[in-house]
Structure 1
């Protein structure tokens, strides 16, 4: 009687088994870093350097700064309206981005070579997800402002679902983009297709991310340009109608807000464009061909700097938010007895405009 043979494995099962074993193999990390020429010198043999510690401290500042803004929003009921939900979502993603990048820095260097690919994907993917959430939150805010300002009226209570849909979609898309390498869109076993900046990521994945983020940036610019044109037209039209002075003043507030938007877009482009260019160069350059790719930490640090500036731009330019934060930090030394903000000698803050129009719960 013939002995029954084992069931043959399908190609897909063999691929999954091979991928699982590769994800647990520490030598994969060394193989990829060595192929890209990143093991030369003492970068991955020594511990943390002074620059690493300095960047980690900046990340702590990013996390603390954004945590203060979140606390101010949570403690003040006047901010418990849909208009501020997306602002809180942006602040949350920036805070988590600072925390995750700090973890990335503290586990870099020699610690990298002691990781399995699974841990490496978790480390890099965590930073990517939070940075992606920050960028996509900027797009969600642009969409919200487009709807609100074009209609020249705030969201009503029955529109809260749209806010939560934007927040949920931003995180779903961010997580989806971040886990793609872990799910198989990587270059393990295909060294010639690997990124130099992120040696386990496929170049095709890097190009895909550049395309997505560029599309997001273009969408933000298009939305704000359209807002500017419509609001400018409404301002000129309402100025000639005496009976519509209230709407004219509201339109003027929107125009003042667009000045802040210009700063937002300028800072965003200034912080992210160098990283976009570096990743595009990473896609085009073969291994060891472009030395600038070995200094990617500085370019990523500039992108992280955007998370440091976002709370300042999006909240401290709002008089209501600024007062809430100042009361939270130091009420006796920054708030007068009648509840007014003391003059602190910073013209930019004293003459700032309100990020969101005054709204009441309905």
Structure 2
């Protein structure tokens, strides 16, 4: 009796349920959906992807091939990173940017490898939050790789315009570019998990990525296309600067030595052509593919079920970037070979082998000491600086007594023999050949 009366009293004073605001209700609904495996099945069934054989048990042969490529990407970029870390000569801003590109490519290969391992039948066992993390990781790393290419182009362009490779603010600019590349990449990758998705709006869903909204796909295409165009514009401007300086130096007889050196900077054309060609070849198919995904209604374009091939082509850019950006450097090649096989650098008589790739070689260096003077950045000397050096040369030429050597070095009145012309004479010196 006492128990019944106490229950009645408790019921009388028990608080009623607190009404929830619409925003609180939406958050709770979103939380439940993010933890519901049924949402994955619903979206994959709506887009027609459940009809594919890839969602049965086991990895397909093409998935295994892509895994091997990803493993190669990780190993290749890890070797380059280790070479940069162990060689103090590379501890300069330009190589830090190259290292950032290498790191993003390494992580892109790793995240895509995780994506492949957890795809197939494992996809249908995921919750939406895990799915967003899996796909978002690939988006973040691929975006970081592309934006790192833009950061390198910006750094080269700024250095070419200012003509001050050793300016004090370069390190700060380098850190700003690296930080901005990762902030923007993470921002792009987390937008879907923060709410820019098609959960509850099946008609707006992407076929390639069934939980992503088509509007988000179009947004990413626009961003990446803008980055591509920016890289092209920056390198075209760099070219015009180099070509203009080369033609100006060629018109002055007293500057034939500088002209020959400036001509070597035109070798940058080879690297730039390779960079842009590989970038476009790897990414343009994926851009077109995602644009088709935006335009096609669900289940209407069979090619959209072959997304792995197009993403795999884009991943090849991460495989080729280290070759294009680092192995075209003589010093980097030697550092990597020294890291992997030190005896391979020596001939039978103990001399250092010449290691070069003539078509890819863009270094203007002839000695190891000078090859990193410009911090890995192909640049040219300013006309004003040249005029100052030439005036200093004319003042002190009369007092110089040439020594019997093949080359001379003049540094504001100081004369000494020099084994060969340096590739970076922009720090207060001029080299010329003895007549």
Does residue 1:358 correspond to 2:372, yes or no?
yes
Segments of 5+ residues of structure 2 without an aligned counterpart are 1-11, 366-370, 376-426, 428-435
The one of the two structures with greater contact order (alpha-carbon pairs below 8 A, sep at least 6) is: 1
Pairs within 5 Å for 1:223-234: 223-234=234-245
285-294 or 237-246: bigger deviation = 237-246
Quote the Cα distance in structure 1 between the aligned partners of 2:94 and 2:263.
19
Quote the Cα distance in structure 1 between the aligned partners of 2:255 and 2:175.
33
Q: Which residue in the other structure is 2:93 paired with?
A: 82
Pairs within 5 Å for 1:321-332: 321-332=332-343
Quote the Cα distance in structure 2 between the aligned partners of 1:327 and 1:135.
29
Larger radius of gyration: 2
Distance 1:252 1:7, change over 3 A: farther
SS in 1 for 2:246: helix
Quote the Cα distance in structure 2 between the aligned partners of 1:37 and 1:328.
50
Q: Aligned match of 1:198 in 199, 209, 221?
A: 209
Q: Which residue in the other structure is 1:270 paired with?
A: 281
196-205 or 251-260: bigger deviation = 251-260
- Runs of 4+ in structure 1 off by over 6 angstroms are none
Does residue 1:101 correspond to 2:112, yes or no?
yes
Quote the Cα distance in structure 1 between the aligned partners of 2:249 and 2:155.
23
Quote the Cα distance in structure 1 between the aligned partners of 2:354 and 2:239.
31
Native 8 Å contact 1:97 1:130 kept in 2: yes
Distance 1:248 1:108, change over 3 A: same
The alpha carbon displacement at 1:353 in A equals 1.6
Quote the Cα distance in structure 2 between the aligned partners of 1:328 and 1:225.
35
**TM norm structure 1:** 0.93
Q: Provide the aligned C-alpha RMSD in A.
A: 2.1
- Per-residue CA deviations over 1:134-172 (Å, capped at 9, x if unaligned) read 000000011001011233341434420000000000000
Q: Which residue in the other structure is 1:129 paired with?
A: 140
Pairs within 5 Å for 1:1-362: 4-244=15-255, 247-336=258-347, 337-341=350-354, 347-348=358-359, 352-354=361-363, 358-359=372-373
58-67 or 224-233: bigger deviation = 224-233
Segments of 5+ residues of structure 1 without an aligned counterpart are none
Native 8 Å contact 1:234 1:251 kept in 2: yes
The alpha carbon displacement at 1:354 in A equals 2.3
The alpha carbon displacement at 1:8 in A equals 2.5
Distance 1:205 1:251, change over 3 A: same
Quote the Cα distance in structure 1 between the aligned partners of 2:96 and 2:165.
13
**TM norm structure 2:** 0.78
SS in 2 for 1:289: coil
Distance 1:188 1:232, change over 3 A: same
Native 8 Å contact 1:318 1:355 kept in 2: no
Aligned residue pairs total 358
- Per-residue CA deviations over 1:318-343 (Å, capped at 9, x if unaligned) read 11111111111111124333333357
Native 8 Å contact 1:142 1:220 kept in 2: yes
SS in 1 for 2:341: helix
Q: Which residue in the other structure is 2:384 paired with?
A: none
Quote the Cα distance in structure 2 between the aligned partners of 1:250 and 1:119.
55
253-262 or 242-251: bigger deviation = 242-251
Quote the Cα distance in structure 2 between the aligned partners of 1:76 and 1:220.
29
Native 8 Å contact 2:160 2:238 kept in 1: yes
The alpha carbon displacement at 1:191 in A equals 0.6
Quote the Cα distance in structure 2 between the aligned partners of 1:109 and 1:204.
25
Distance 1:231 1:348, change over 3 A: closer
Quote the Cα distance in structure 2 between the aligned partners of 1:155 and 1:243.
27
Distance 1:8 1:223, change over 3 A: same
